[in-house]
Amino acid sequence: MRLKNKSIIVTGAGSGIGEGIAKRLAEEGAAIIVNDINRTGGERVADEITAAGGQAQFVAADVTRSDDVKALVAAAVRHHGKLDVMVNNAGWTHRNQPALDVPEDEFDRCYAVNVKSIYLSTIHAVPEFRRNGGGSFINIASTAGVRPRPGLTWYNGSKGAVITTSKSLAAELGPDNIRVNCVNPVMNPFTGLGASFAGGELTEERLGKFRSTIPLGRFSTALDVANAVLYLASDEAAFISGVCLEVDGARCV
């Protein structure tokens, strides 16, 4: 049990990559707060973790709202007595299209979910980490922040902001024994955002175009990402901070 007795929040855990992260960390003994704005999905994931013998509670919260994030952190402390790790997985993208065609409301939502959520989790989780003598943020960014593709310009920029912010926080919060790291997955088309990343229906032609850019010849899976998060959340990574771990089959080489 690599995460025994660790209290961990996973945002956006009601489906897709977040679900995979929550379940994998629970398998290794973590007590999980499953967060999502989708109550049905979040409750399902928490129930499935519990049914499998793990520890999980669902907490609904919008990661773009300060009061919600504050309540999310408080819920972890209430249920588990502390907070050890916060996995900022919740994300959003505009549809793949020319930069000038992206509506302002989609731009705003992209930056609110992807970037403002990091600000709010920092504001509300750091005081708890300091009380505990340390903690860990794991931010799910993207290869889009390292090697951006046309058509996703504003999403790419938001993930670049996550990467730079994470590195800066690692430097600033290190003296408090707070680690900050990123995981950068390559595209996983089989999440709720897959069609938006692709710019339309997930045809074999579209999938093949994206797959051809990945040297290992396949897309990332939720388990690929979850295993990277597991390492960064574990004590094995106690001296790892300020890194961005690409889970991308060499896409960014």
| C-alpha–C-alpha distance, residues 22 and 57, integer Å | 11
Catalytic residue among 111, 119, 155, 231: 155
| C-alpha–C-alpha distance, residues 129 and 134, integer Å | 5
Active site includes 231? no
Q: Is 177 left (phi over 0), alpha (psi -120 to 50) or beta?
A: left
What is the set of active-site residues? Answer: 155
